[in-house]
Amino acid sequence: MAALISGDRLRFVLSRLRERLWLKPFVVCLLSIACVFAAKIADSNALLIQVLPSITAKSLDTLLSIMASSMLVIATFSVTSMVSAYSSAANTATPRSFTLIIADDASQNALSTFVGAFIFSIVALTAVKNGYFERAGLLLLFCLTAVVFSIVIITFVRWVDSIARLGRMGSTINKVEAATAKALKRRRDAPTLQGGRMQSPARGQPVFAVNTGYVQHIDMAMLQKWAEEAQVGVVVAALPGTLVGPGRPVAYVSSSPDHPDDMDFTCVIDAFHLGVDRLFDDDPRFGLVVLSEIAGRALSPAVNDPGTAIAIVGAFLRLFTQWSEPVTKGSQQSPKYERIEVPEISIQDMFDDAFTAIARDGAGVVEVSVRLQKALHSLATIDDLEMRNAAGYHAQLALKRARLALNVEEDIAVVQAAAQFSQDIVSSKNYSPLNYKQ
């Protein structure tokens, strides 16, 4: 039972629900209906009926009619604007950013408010026309209607400012960077997903997934509970973001010789949640890939927007700097799944995801090449040997591409000067590409 209600699993489920566009409007509609019938409570108090001023049903009828007719138009307009923004984000940035755009709180709150106000007005109007409320109920319903009107006006003004930015390149980059930073921080605080550090190459009996897809989430609590009951050890072989299929094990189970060979691995397979798409939550590398895709599209001949690629390089610098920050005692998560071994994410893989496409597509643009070298130089100064080696390797690789793509000697000289630091790294005794984690 503990595995089914673990905090990590609950976070994953709530994140998926947050991406559903219908959830908030549905909840607000229920609250709107509840508010209408809650006004009937005032009619049961005889003292309130005598003290409170009277509101005619006709005036309330007119007010609710205006709200009902206008809210449906505004809700339709909001949906049209949101769909346009989603299409713009997919076309100008990358389709992989769609889940972040659709989960935008401002747009969901606006749509929920408009639809909720429409349902509120329709239900209240029907109740008023059928004489459901008495004197106190009508007054309370009038007050609720005024409150709803105020909320709608404030939401509409704020939403207009938000929808002007939704789907734009800068807004999309910020959303992807924020999601990636959140995933990186979570993985930095728990590099082995609160399991034990993998001490040796994967060993034991391989466990294969039934379906093909990307690992979106690993339920560590479920794995730990099963391993304790079976008295075995589990080695995770597929981190979130890994594409698994036939011949690609998700885990290895190590057991003593007296364990049966036909163990039931259903719980192990179920602990790995697979899907057709990668997700940002538990997969920091996916955010790096999406940012790299945005930069690659910006550097294509059809778009020719080096400024966006430079902005992405700055985002990578911020993200990797955050990754290298020491973990504070308050945020560090101590291992609590001692029967599970998990490999750590590789700096080499993250640098490959981030900088390969920019170095390749921006090799012929001198300003992008120089900014890339400067960013790698900054990362190389961080007190982290693995990151220093990765920065030196990618700086040398980007320099080779720039030499082949640039035609002007002065441009090549500028890039070479910016990449001079990498030569010192490559020539040092601590440098070797073979030192990278696989």
* N-terminal to C-terminal alpha carbon distance within the chain: 36
Where does residue 262 rank: exposed (0-12), middle (13-18), buried (19+ CB within 10 A)?
exposed
Residue with tokens 């192990």: 268
pLDDT in tens, the chain (438 residues): 344 456 677 777 777 777 777 788 888 888 888 888 887 776 666 555 555 667 778 888 888 888 888 888 888 888 887 777 777 766 777 878 877 877 777 778 888 888 888 898 998 888 888 888 877 788 888 888 889 889 988 888 888 877 777 767 888 899 999 999 999 999 999 899 989 888 777 778 899 998 899 999 999 999 999 999 888 899 999 999 999 988 889 999 987 666 666 678 889 999 999 999 999 989 999 999 999 999 999 999 988 999 999 999 999 999 999 999 887 665 566 678 899 999 999 999 999 999 999 999 999 999 999 999 999 999 999 988 899 999 999 999 999 999 999 999 999 999 999 999 988 888 887 776 655 443
Angle at CA of residue 345, ends 343 and 348, nearest 5°: 125
Q: What is the C-alpha to C-alpha distance for residues 377 and 18, in angstroms, rounded to an integer?
A: 39
Q: What is the C-alpha to C-alpha distance for residues 286 and 183, in angstroms, rounded to an integer?
A: 9
Cα pseudo-dihedral 222, 184, 173, 287, rounded to 10: -50
Q: For residue 297, how many other CB atoms are within 10 A of its CB?
A: 20
Q: How far is CA 10 from the centre of its chain?
A: 15
* pTM greater than 0.85: no
Q: How far is CA 36 from the centre of its chain?
A: 36
